[in-house]
Structure 1
Amino acid sequence: MSSFTTPAQLTVENTTILQEIEALGKLELVRYKFKEVIEAEEIAKRYFDLGYFYIPGGQDQKALLIAKGEAVACIDLMKIEKEDIIFSGDTIQINMPGPELCYYKVDLNKSSFYDLQTSKDKKKAAEFIDMIYAKAETQMKEAALESGILVDAEKMSGRVLTPFLSNLTDKTVILHFKTIPDKVILQKR
Structure 2
Amino acid sequence: MIERVDNRQPATSGVKTFFHNVTLMVTGGIGVAIALSLVGMWHKGGKFFNDLGAMVSLTQPAPKADISAIVISQVRGASDLTTAIFVMEAVVPTQQDWTLGSWTVGSSKLLYVAYGEVRAGVDLSKLQRQDVVVQGDSIVIRLPPPKILDRKIDVNRSRVYNYEKGVMGLAPDISYSLQSLAQQEAIGKISTAACNNGLLEMANEKAELTVTRLVSFSGYSKITIETQPPAKDACS
The corresponding residue for 1:33 is 87
Q: Distance in 2 between matches of 1:173 and 1:118?
A: 62
The corresponding residue for 1:19 is none
Q: Match of 2:116, SS? A: strand
Alignment of 1:100-115 (within 5 A): 100-115=147-162
Matched, 1:135 2:182: no
Cα distance change on mapping 1:116 and 1:170 into 2, 3 Å: same
Cα distance change on mapping 1:133 and 1:147 into 2, 3 Å: same
Cα distance change on mapping 1:26 and 1:43 into 2, 3 Å: same
* Residue number among 100, 106, 122 corresponding to 1:75 in the alignment: 122
Percentage of matched positions with identical amino acids: 20
The corresponding residue for 1:159 is 209
Shift of 1:66: 1.2
Give 1:68's aligned amino acid: Y
The CA RMSD measured in Å over matched residues stands at 2.5
The corresponding residue for 2:109 is 62
Larger Rg: 2
TM-score (norm 1): 0.71
Moved over 3 A (4+): 25-28, 118-122, 181-185
The corresponding residue for 2:140 is 93
Matched, 1:175 2:225: yes
> Could you report, residue by residue, the CA deviation over 1:68-127 in whole angstroms, capped at 9, with x for unpaired residues?
1211111111211101110012111011101111111111000111111347545x4432
Q: Distance in 2 between matches of 1:165 and 1:30?
A: 20
Q: Distance in 2 between matches of 1:102 and 1:158?
A: 17
Cα distance change on mapping 1:83 and 1:48 into 2, 3 Å: closer
Shift of 1:158: 1.6
Q: Distance in 2 between matches of 1:118 and 1:148?
A: 39
Greater displacement, 169-178 / 26-35? 26-35
Shift of 1:26: 5.4
- Gap regions ≥5 residues in structure 1: 1-24
Which has the larger helix fraction? Answer: 2
Shift of 1:29: 2.0
CA contact (8 A) 2:123 2:144 kept: yes
Give 1:38's aligned amino acid: V
Q: Distance in 1 between matches of 2:234 and 2:147?
A: 10
TM-score (norm 2): 0.58
The corresponding residue for 1:46 is 100
CA contact (8 A) 2:112 2:179 kept: no
